[in-house]
Amino acid sequence: MAVLVGKKAPLFEADAVINGGEFVEKFSLEQYIGKKHVVFFFYPLDFTFVCPTELLAFQEKLEEFEKRNVAVVGCSIDSKFSHWAWLNTEVNKGGIKGVKYPLVADLSKTISENYDVLAGEYEYTEDGEMDFEGDPVAFRGLFLIDKQGVVRHQVVNDLPLGRSIDEAIRIVDALQYFEEVGEVCPANWKQGDAGMKATADGVADYLGKNY
């Protein structure tokens, strides 16, 4: 599994569905560089079980991300037509109607490969034919990308393990606090807590007050 933290986020152009039902060609994260932080997350498949709980949870917290000037973008290996159908299916029928943030269609699986979240890999058989070993869907990867297009945080869950949206918000807050104040964020830091200076004296002062 590649560690992308500290590196430029892989860019792409792909079909996407935005605003709950509008098709867009050549959607790219590049549009946010210099303007917004981005939470870019992968999920395995449309019309599954854990996935709608995550996508709906992101939508429920979308206002919190927007208040922080953060764009939320989802991605799976489904087609734009599958995304559209799922977005137009009622929640009580397994759909995600009401989700408004962009969903990217990674039908070629190249985006998932570039972010190294594809649950398997291509290999050559003894006959020289290419075959896929594993499950050709994306793990539950999440990447926080700053305004310079650099990945500052990543977490990857296995397929059965849903993510904490509140934790994603906490990490956004921590990054923005560091960017604005210049102090680092200790363990379990949350918005409103004190940070600490990245010096020996700063650490000693923080520990003396909190432990």
Q: Which of 51, 105, 142, 145 is catalytic?
A: 51
CA pair distance 128, 149, nearest whole angstrom: 38
Q: Does the annotation mark 185 as catalytic?
A: no
Residues with Cβ < 8 Å from 161, sequence gap 6 or more?
50, 140
Residue 94 CB neighbour total at 10 angstroms: 14
Residues with Cβ < 8 Å from 52, sequence gap 6 or more?
91, 94, 95, 96
CB 4 within 8 A of CB 115: yes
Please list the active-site residues: 51
